Amino acid sequence: MADVKKPVVCVVGTGGTIASRYDAALGGHVSAATAQDLVAAMPEIQDVADIRVVEHSNINSALMSTGTAFALRDTLRAVLRDDDVTGVVVTHGTATLEETAYLMDLTVGGDKPVVFTGAQRNADEKDADGPRNLLCATMVAADPAARGRGVLVALGSEIHAARDVTKINPEILTCFGARDCGPVGSVTRQGVSFFMMPQRRLQLEVDQVKENVHIIRMGQGGNDLLFRACVSARVDGIVVEATGGGNVNLPFYQGVCAALDAGIPVVAALRLPSGAPHPGKGYPGSYQSLIAKGALSSGYLSGIKARILLMVALGHTAERSQLLEIFAEAGGG
């Protein structure tokens, strides 16, 4: 009997804890291992797929710039254009993985699987979780059922959608959760199982992103200092993480009004771990007053994801009507 041809999966390395080793001169761990090193640390991966390796970057993800993250879009497109490639695994630091993954979900396009993974333990630790996570992510990328589901995150045996995934703990191995739902699938040694199809996905064709977008979180008694700084600097956009169902105090409301009057797009989001903004209160600073003034609604997107969407959307259009449609489609609520 002829040998069954294995799928081809490309592992694209960007750095992170999964690639980190101790540096005595710096007194801590830094990204050092290459993607090829990571593949070599898990020989079983060769049983799943024929592996190709691309080195995109090698940095801890707190240091990931918007430019480096957006350039990954072109790296992935180049890899995915090869008809022989079944899917891609991206190794990434978990600190900002959810942001890069959503940026790729919005901009890469196509049906081939793109699966992000990382680790909570450094590559040089005896019980490092990176090799197993890489194996599981490769299993997902090689699985025909993963096609058409957008960018996925596979870590700690769970599979999450890029739009909803968020890091919930800096220590535990299952460090990611989903903001308003659960995992979309599971992966174990026995195989890959999907439970649901990711929803509210969209793809925007852009040549650039507007990266000067800032998040301002509402705290009790907060003032408009950061808004005034943003208006003075003529930033590209602002995301406000509001209290409760999307409400802010009077100084914050005045700050939002000043930004909108200056032509700066503002998105109303929540500082809560789940849910969407909703009307109900009637005072200046209420969610409905922000929307009436011209703010966009994040819907069920977190402030972090709303920032990524605004950065991409502004690279696509400056028309408020189109921005409203984009946020309604992606955020819901």
What residues are paired with 160 via a beta bridge? 153
Other CB atoms within 10 Å distance of the CB of residue 190 = 8
CA distance 246 to 223: 16
Task: Fill in the amino acid letter for 169.
Answer: N
* Residues whose CB is less than 8 angstroms from the CB of residue 149 and which lie 6 or more positions away in sequence, other chains included: 113, 161, 184, 194, 197, 198
DSSP strand pairing (8-13 vs 266-270) = unpaired
Residue 32, SS3?
coil
17 is catalytic: yes
CA atoms within 13 Å, Cβ hemisphere of 310 = 30
Q: Are 161 and 150 in contact (CB under 8 A)?
A: yes
* Residues whose CB is less than 8 angstroms from the CB of residue 32 and which lie 6 or more positions away in sequence, other chains included: 19, 20, 21, 23, 58, 123
CA distance 100 to 202: 15
* Residues whose CB is less than 8 angstroms from the CB of residue 238 and which lie 6 or more positions away in sequence, other chains included: 213, 214, 215, 216, 227, 230, 256, 259, 264, 265, 266, 267
Spot the catalytic one: 17, 100, 138, 166: 17
Cite the active site residues. Answer: 17
